[in-house]
Structure 1
Amino acid sequence: MASGFFALLDDISALVKVSAASLDDVPAQVAKTTGKVSGIVIDDTAVTPKYVVGLDPSRELSIIYRIAKKSLINKLLILSPAALVLGYFAPWAITPILMLGGAYLCFEGYEKVHSMFSKHHEVNVESEQVKTITPEELEQERVAGAVRTDIILSAEIMAIAYSQVTDQTVVNQIAVMAAVAVFITIAVYGFVGLIVKADDFGVHLAQDKYHPATQKLGRGIVKFMPHFLSILSYVGTAAMLWVGAEIIAHGIPFTAHLLHELEVALADVPALAWLAKALSCAIGGLLIGFVVEKLVLLVKKLLGKDKKEQAA
């Protein structure tokens, strides 16, 4: 009886050692996964600041914290378990889901590009009834909008994170995905917090009590931030198109092969290889977004007809 008990302890000890050795790979897996989702992280970082622009400056960090908290909860309690369950019961579904998410990103990116050049988005204030809402309601709308956008990007992040650890043990998969969720959420929303408070920091430095050089630096920060936010918006749109198209391309063997061949052909100049792939994907993303928009409009038109026929 005693020998059986000690044999069981030996088995448990061996299992713990194996698990500990396996967990040693977690930091490397997290670093690898973070590199794979860098484009989506850029997109997430670039998109989020617009949700706090125009609101009470004293509420900015609170709003960002609320968005970050919901983002982390979604990643840890909804998206990660969903990816693990799908990976176990229906691994074939992960790639199509990723591609659907990629198509959505292309659609969103195309809409942004289209709105930059289209004149059809001008609002006739006289012909439309203006909706009046309180600052609290506006804040709730902004947070809800940010969370909707974030959950799509977070789903892509966690699905890609899972795709990088499919050959690992379940313990490793959970550890890596949890670490990725926490690290990326802190990194994205920490940087967003720095961005939205940079102008306040500039105003603080521009006070008369500081050295003239410090005041000049503060005024420079205040003047630069609107331009930086504008540039960040363009970068976010480009990243959205690039990431969305690349996800779709990797889901289709032919286009995945083409991207690989492009990288191999320019392997001697890594920067050029990256630029060529990003530009190709961004152009492809625009085309995909255009097609998706036409499909969305067609579906809306058909649904509108059905409603009219039912009403008649």
Structure 2
Amino acid sequence: MQILILGNSKDVHAAHLREAIAQTGTDVDYLDIAQFPTQLRVSWSPQTSEGFLTLPSGQRWNWQSIRSVFWRSLAPIQVPSLPDDQRQIAGNDAMAVLRTVMQSTSTRWVNSWRAYQFHKEKPRQLGVVHQLGITIPDTLVGNDPAAVLAFAQRHAKVIFKPVYGGAYIQPLTPQHLQPERLQLALSCAPIALQEYIPGTNIRTYVIGDRVYGAEIRSPSLDFRLDAQAELLPLTLPDAVEQDCRAIARALWLDWTAIDWRRRPDGQYVFLEANPSPMFIHFERQTRYPITQALVDLLLAD
């Protein structure tokens, strides 16, 4: 049995989990996509569904012997210097092979290519969760100034953030809505607007059937900006635990961190589910066995 970590040793979470798996006596190594196709060698046959992965170290692993791959991070492929037209073809070919082995081999990906792609469509993620009957914030995405102004007028307080992610939440101010500024911003990129949800930040981790929760105490609008934020273990209501598992299933996530806002009246409002969250700080603060749960998940039949 063999396990791969999608990522490399420079990522502290990848290195942490690799060490934990190695302590079980299991063969484990990194699958660093930045080394493909220059150093990694991949083969796969549509007729037999068999193939091999040869690592830079020279180890040759049969895809059928690889129990799991933990998806920590997907680095860009590194195609050698070629003329632009040839470089594009080479890059497309390399990604086609990677997508194939990620979806067609018997190896279990935690999480899958499908889940990773779905995460990049966060408005759609919100829609799916809403269809489960779980409360989400009133949300608008797009670049229509009239729609943005109408949304802002419907709510006393609004926050905005990139549709794709990758930046922090900010409050929407009257200055943002000045006509020239708004037109310029929306001609550059669409935006995601949400009603501000008063209350407390809650983070839950789902690992297989296990669910762990913590209250995050921070005065910051985005707690990720607050190095002093407190993480307090939390006993979740049974209904919220069930919602966590339902969200993970609906988004094809074997493991995830789900962020919520708990309103003053106790209602939980879904914000986002992350398919590759950081977890070491959360584990150290709460003492929840996140690492062991992930190891168990990756080694499970």
Same fold (TM > 0.5) = no
TM-score by length of 1: 0.21
Structure whose CA Rg is larger: 1
Give the structure with the larger helix fraction. 1
Query: Whose relative contact order is higher, 1 or 2, with alpha carbons under 8 Å and at least 6 apart?
Result: 1
Give the structure with the larger strand fraction. 2
TM-score by length of 2: 0.22
